[in-house]
Chains A and B, each alone.
Chain A
Amino acid sequence: MPRRTLPLLLLTLATACSPDLRPDDAGDGGAMPLVDVPGGDRPNAERVASRRDGAALVTVVDASASDQWVYLDLDRGEQAGDAMAGWDLAIQRFKVRSNGGVSGDGGVEIARLAGARFEDVIEAPMTGWLRDAVDGDDANSDPDYVFDQEGAWYAYDPMDHSLAPRDLVYVVRTTERRAVKLRMLGYYDGAGTSGVVSLRWQELASHDGGAQ
């Protein structure tokens, strides 16, 4: 009995004395075992927040869930958020798809304006409209989203594995045939959490009807 008791006693003593490093859920200390970010049942609207920035809106989309798309309805202005019907863009992590082409039947088209200043874009372009297309000859198996075509909306830095938006302005022709100019602002929130996409956007005054 004593021979067995001593090691057990020592083991118990050692383990009982050790503190638990598991952070509690208070404040920012909540911890979750993170292998893949779960989407959960969080409503779409809770993942989208907008604020006015002059004539434009800045919308922050928590698209950090790797198994859930967050839908935006640009036609609804500040109400963009919880709208499966009539959605224009959907974001999941760094992927952005549009409700047109292979991704949807809403007829959404997008023009990509490289090097343009957001303030200088005052009308929709006559040409250059693109739609989400079937997967082409590339490394991934996703459809060729417009936001990935001709160079993705982000630049990847292999040094620190970070994403930064490219100098691009997109013009989105929405499901209601409005024209919206849009610029991606970032991929991280203030704490550095990835998948939190911020974008600045504003409806253009006129629209020529596009390529259709």
Chain B
Amino acid sequence: MGARAQWLGWALAISVGGCLALAPIAASAQPRPPAPAEDPEEQVIVVTGTRTERRLADSPVITEVITRQDIEASGAEDLAAVLEEHPGMDVNRSSISGANLRIQGLDPQYVLILINGERVGGRVNGAVDLTRIPVADIQRVEIVRGPSSALYGADAIGGVVNVITRRPTQPWEAEAHARYGMLDTVDTSARAAMLRGPVSASVTAGYRRRDAFDLDPSNVATNGSTYDSGTAAGRFEWQPSRSFSLVASCDWLMRHQRGVDGGAGGAVYDRQNLTETLSVSLAPEYRFGPALASRVRVGAWYTDYRDQYSLDQRNSNALDQFQETRNRIGQVSAQLDHDLGRGHLLTVGAEGYYEGLAADRLRAGSGDRQRGAVFIQDQWTLRGALPRLVIVPGARLDVDSQFGAAPTPKLQVRFDPHRAVALRASYGWGFRAPSFQELLLSFENPGVGYVVTGNADLRAETSRSVNLSAEWRPRRWLWLTTNLFRNDIDDLIDTVLLPRANPAEAERYTYRNITRAWTMGVELSARLRPRAGVVLDLGYTLTATRDLTFDRPLEGRAMHRVNLGVQLRHARTGLEFSSRAAVVGPRQFYPTTGPAMAPLYASVDARAAWAWSRHGQVFVACDNVLDAGDPRFLIVPPRVAYLGVTIRR
């Protein structure tokens, strides 16, 4: 306890100290903040869709980018909050496992979360908790919908979210951020960075906390946990020449969550989770050829994730539990991007992957798997001038120690009939291996009254997906996109309730390969910049799903989802206002008491800020203005107002 408090104390001291140290700088500077670039999409380099650096406007794969500016305007403090305000991103929160993401109606285990192109470890029930990733060190978030298994392998069926961290652009950079709000919410972070000659480095530290919240006062159970979270990250880049660079990074996180669970018969449990993650990576890169268009990149990274889970029954120890989970993931990769001329950019690569899991919840106590993979892709520009045509065939072969070989081909086509129009089509296969938990789990939750057991006979899931998209930019201030998608999944793994010999027994769940399911729909979005300082976003997603085993919609998916966003910025006065809203249609659930339909809901966030110089900004914000939420189907924090300051140089 003392050690934890010490670490968190250091994080807090760094953040507050950073604010105080930067305050005189911020106070003395006079210039107003410059107006943002009006067309940042043109300038952004994206990497996720093809594993190569491409200008966003030129990318053969449609890629959505949430910029640093968007993140700051939204007031989001973690990746979950960033994504839930983005059209088509279905972020689900729970009282225990934080927040996870669905894309195109597919569950979180079909969505691959990357940081700088590397997998985020520590999936819980197949999902990465997005609240673990604070925004302080995020430069941008890239989203690629649809399958990307041909490049990234397992799990990239519904889409890929790639978090790109910040890189220094000035000789010295410093930033401190602090926010305080209802529920005793504290968000602080500090960042220092330098760029001197061939060397750049940055250090980021942060501390966050929030009290638990309770959406159902009729019982003592909480719906959202109290948490304390400390993070630290360091990055170092050495680029002695234009052709060679070396990037090393280290990320550390510790988060302590506490909540109260109610159980049958009036039992009350004090629940705690302590999660720690340490990741280190090293990535040298060598560029060569004409205009240095070819490169070799070698990467190695390692993640160690540890989670302690404690359930302490009040006034008794009969139902107490303690479980520890240790997940270690290591990966080495090598990738060659070579400009073959005549419009061909070839990418070939290989990866080796190791994952070990030790957990009390596994029947055998531990398990490990190894996987090797090779992949190849050709970005073939058949015609560079309008009408422009690019074809990107690719394929990947994964060989896993548990489920054998999984080939995943993909074909993508981009056709630009007009300067303002881009049409894209893709067809690809995907796969997801059964997780350790699904194979080997043995877990009882007496608080809620259920038991989950793994199924060693599970097969890998496979998918076939089609995406058709159109991007139209009729004016510089107007950007319209539409995407039609269809995902067919075979051997879909899902939890099923086993028949009970007696209703008084705990509910027993296991995992099964459900024969087949599909999701399909359309995603529409529009971004308008009608005048300087004004950005309007509008999105609509229609998602239809079918579980073909039970002939019913998949649980918890809303057929209709509308997103609205507005950003107003007055450069002369430094005033800013932004608001995001989501309207989510009814969702079908299948609890044991019988099918239930969760009603439509709307969530609104708003933020107002004043930048007194380009070095400092104060803001006031309110999340969940309409106080949406219910303890059964919509576990989100209640309305919370904040006050904060950001100082930078």
- Is B274's beta carbon under 8 Å from chain A? yes
Task: Evaluate contact between A191 and B313: CB separation under 8 angstroms.
Answer: yes
Cβ contacts under 8 Å, B274 to chain A: 18-19, 21
Interface size class of A (residues with CB under 8 A): 35 or more
The reply to whether the CB of A85 lies closer than 8 angstroms to some CB of chain B is no
Asked if B268 and A192 make an inter-chain contact with CB atoms under 8 angstroms apart, the answer reads: yes
B442 to A, closest residue via Cβ: A35
Judge if B198 is at the interface, Cβ distance under 8 Å: no
Contact bitstring B298-314, A, C-beta under 8 A = 1, else 0: 00001010101111111
User: If the complex has contacts A19-B3, A140-B501, are A191 and B315 also in contact, measured as CB distance less than 8 A?
Assistant: yes
| Chain B interface residue number, banded | 35 or more
Q: Contact check: which of B4, B316, B502 meets A191 at CB < 8 Å?
A: B316
Which of B259-267, B460-468, B541-549 is found at the contact surface with chain A?
B259-267
Chain B residues within 8 Å of A154, by CB = 504
User: A161 and B313: CB pair below 8 A?
Assistant: no
A187: B residues at CB distance < 8 A: 265
Kindly list chain B residues whose C-beta atoms are within 8 Å of the C-beta of A29. Answer: 312, 317, 320
A35 vs B263: C-alpha distance in the bound complex, in angstroms?
A: 16
Q: From residue 159 to 212 of chain A, which have CB atoms closer than 8 A to chain B?
A: 159-163, 187-194
- The answer to whether B57 has its CB under 8 Å from any CB of chain A is no
- For B308, the chain A residues whose CB sits under 8 A away are 18, 20-22
Q: How near does chain B come to A93, taking the closest CB pair, in angstroms? A: 7
Q: How far apart are the CA atoms of A189 and B319 in the complex, in Å?
A: 12
Q: Say if the beta carbon of A31 comes within 8 Å of chain B.
A: yes
Asked whether A94 is an interface residue with its Cβ less than 8 Å from the other chain, the reply is yes
Q: Are B280 and A10 in contact (CB-based, < 8 A)?
A: yes
Q: Is the interface of A mostly helix, strand, loop or mixed?
A: loop
Chain A nearest CB from B71 CB (Å) reads 27
Contact with A along B234-276 (1 / 0, CB 8 A): 0000000000000000101010000000111111100010101
Closest to A93 in B: B504
Residues of B close to A159: CB separation below 8 A: 593
Residues of chain B within 8 A of A150, CB atoms compared: none
Per the bound structure, the CA–CA distance linking A11 and B304 in Å amounts to 8
Interface centre among A32, A34, A152, A192 (most CB of B within 10 A): A192
Residues in A neighbouring B302, C-beta threshold 8 A: 7
* Alpha-carbon gap, A129 to B254, bound state (A): 63
A31 touching B310 in the complex, CB below 8 Å, given contacts A10-B278, A18-B4, A193-B267: yes
**A10-B278, A33-B322 given; A193·B501 CB < 8 A:** no
Measured between beta carbons, the chain A residues less than 8 angstroms from B267 are 188, 191-194
Q: Given the complex of chains A and B, what is the CA–CA distance between A39 and B348 in angstroms?
A: 59
CB distance from B440 to the nearest CB of A (A): 13
Nearest A residue to B360 by beta-carbon distance? A33
With contacts A21-B310, A22-B310, A140-B501 taken as known, whether A30 is within 8 angstroms of B317 at the C-beta atoms is yes
Rounded to whole angstroms, the CA-CA distance of A10 and B264 in the bound complex is 43
Chain A hits for B4, CB < 8 A: 17-19
Structural contact, B306 and A15, CB atoms closer than 8 A: yes
Q: How far is the CA of A28 from the CA of B450 in the complex (A)?
A: 23
Q: Complex: how many Å from CA A194 to CA B265?
A: 7
Task: State which residues 404-455 of B face A: CB under 8 Å.
Answer: 442-444, 446, 448-450
Q: How many contacts A-B (CB < 8 Å)?
A: 155
Q: Which chain B positions have C-beta within 8 A of A188?
A: 264-267
Shortest beta-carbon distance, A67 to chain B, in Å? 14
Minimal beta-carbon separation of B335 from chain A (angstroms)? 22
- Check: B491 CB closer than 8 A to any chain A CB: no
Is B30 positioned at the interface, with any CB of A under 8 Å from its CB? no
Instruction: Give the complex CA separation of A188 and B504 in angstroms.
Output: 13
Q: Is the CB of A192 within 8 A of B263?
A: yes
B566 in the interface, Cβ–Cβ < 8 Å? no
**Interchain CB contact under 8 A, A17 and B3:** yes
B506 touches A191 (CB 8 A): no
Q: Mark B344-380, 1 if CB is under 8 A from A, else 0.
A: 0000000000000000100000000000000000000
Residue in A7, A17, A139, A191 whose CB lies within 8 Å of B280: A7
Q: Within 8 Å CB of A140, what residues of B? A: 501-502
A160 with B449, Cβ < 8 A, contacts A19-B4, A188-B266, A192-B263 known:
yes
Please judge, given known A-B contacts A139-B501, A156-B504, A161-B507, whether A31 and B265 are in contact too, CB under 8 Å: no
How far is B326's CA from A18's CA once the two chains are assembled, in angstroms? 13
A19-B274, A23-B312, A35-B442 known; A160-B321 Cβ under 8 A: no
User: Are A64 and B318 neighbours in the complex by a CB distance under 8 Å?
Assistant: yes
Contact A23 B315 (CB under 8 A): no
Q: Does B171 contact A (CB under 8 A)?
A: no
Residues of chain B within 8 A (CB-CB) of A192 are 263-268, 313, 316, 319
1/0 per residue, CB under 8 A from A, across B11-37: the answer is 000000000000000000000000000
| Contact in complex: B320, A31 (CB < 8 Å) | yes
When distances are taken between beta carbons in the complex, the residues of chain A under 8 Å from B503 are 156, 158
Residues of the A chain whose Cβ atoms lie less than 8 Å from the Cβ of B217:
none
By beta carbon, the residue of chain A nearest B311 is A31
Say whether B43 faces chain A, with CB atoms less than 8 Å apart: no
B321 contact from A15, A33, A36, Cβ within 8 A: A33
| Cβ–Cβ contact A23 & B320, under 8 A | yes
CB neighbours (8 Å) of B499 from chain A are 139
Indicate if the CB atoms of B504 and A193 lie closer than 8 Å: no
Is A142 an interface residue when CB atoms closer than 8 A count as contact? yes
Q: Could you jot down 5 A-B contacts, CB within 8 Å?
A: A17-B7, A21-B309, A31-B312, A94-B502, A139-B501
9 smallest beta-carbon distances between A and B, as pairs: A192-B267, A188-B265, A161-B449, A191-B316, A140-B501, A30-B317, A31-B320, A162-B264, A191-B315
A binding-site residues for B, Cβ under 8 Å: 6-7, 10-11, 14-23, 25, 28-37, 64, 93-94, 139-142, 152, 154, 156, 158-163, 187-194
Supply 12 further A-B pairs (C-beta < 8 A) apart from A10-B278, A156-B503, A161-B506.
A7-B280, A7-B302, A20-B308, A21-B274, A29-B317, A31-B312, A31-B322, A33-B322, A142-B502, A158-B593, A160-B449, A188-B267
Binding site for A on B (CB under 8 A): 1-4, 6-7, 250, 252, 254, 262-268, 272, 274, 276, 278, 280, 302, 304, 306, 308-323, 360, 442-444, 446, 448-450, 499-504, 506-507, 592-593
